Structure 1
């Protein structure tokens, strides 16, 4: 466990105050680096989602051209939807912001689950808890880090 070391007060020297969790940590990466990381994670997430969709769809059978096509189309659709949510959601109030992420997660999970051959009703019912959990977690995050107008607390 870390403990602060007392610093003697001397003229011209500021006292260092130890804060357990500082709200404003310095941003060591540039905006360009953040953009590259965001795009890289979007592409990587889309490729994983597409591969996962194709693997569930083939159910251990042989890899076919249609299976590969399904994987790539799913990956592109996931990347486009994720980019849209990332562009749209921050402009909304915190309730709609959380709801947007919940809907995205529910639809993404429901589509993946539908590839297993389950009925549409079962896919919808299985995706509701996922969407509810994502909605609750994101609402809590935005509720504790934003004011009522959607501005980040500093």
Structure 2
């Protein structure tokens, strides 16, 4: 009977796709993705405040300030999230995306009320919370540690 001989001292890792990118690529992506997302969000917010009118300096400034705030909040959730319980982690992501959508909705039309914006934000955040919580719940062990 033949047995496969181990080629190295490492234990084989099963159960997930191979990691084909280097650590440097992951580090760059952790900053580049939120930055690009924030710029898109800032542009979207600035476009909503124009109502189809001309681009002004205040409009561009509003877009960049919105992008900076979104980037800071995204990076904050990304930094704090892994250190809190899965429920709080999922709530932070749902609150960020729900409030971001509600803010864009409030800027999109002149007739939208605060209640309508908040309702849309909650209607978006609740199922997002459920989906993110399910993902974190299924990717952690019983003690709450991530399975990698």
So what's the TM-score if we normalise by structure 2? Answer: 0.86
What runs of 5+ residues in structure 1 fail to find an aligned partner?
Answer: 1-9, 15-21
Alpha-carbon contact 1:53-1:71 (below 8 Å) kept: yes
SS in 2 for 1:153: coil
- Are 2:2 and 1:11 equivalent residues in the alignment? yes
- Are 2:116 and 1:125 equivalent residues in the alignment? no
SS in 2 for 1:47: helix
Q: Decide which structure has the larger Cα Rg and report it.
A: 1
- Are 2:92 and 1:97 equivalent residues in the alignment? no
- Are 2:75 and 1:83 equivalent residues in the alignment? yes
Alignment of 1:5-154 (within 5 A): 11-13=2-4, 22-116=14-108, 117=110, 118-153=112-147
Deviation at residue 46 of structure 1 after TM alignment: 0.5
Deviation at residue 13 of structure 1 after TM alignment: 4.4
Counting matched residue pairs gives: 138
**Deviation by residue 1:5-30 (Cα, 9 ceiling, x = unmatched):** xxxxx62447xxxxxxx523332222
**Deviation by residue 1:41-82 (Cα, 9 ceiling, x = unmatched):** 011000000000011111111111111111000001110000
What runs of 5+ residues in structure 2 fail to find an aligned partner?
Answer: 6-13
Distance 1:12 1:102 in 2: 50
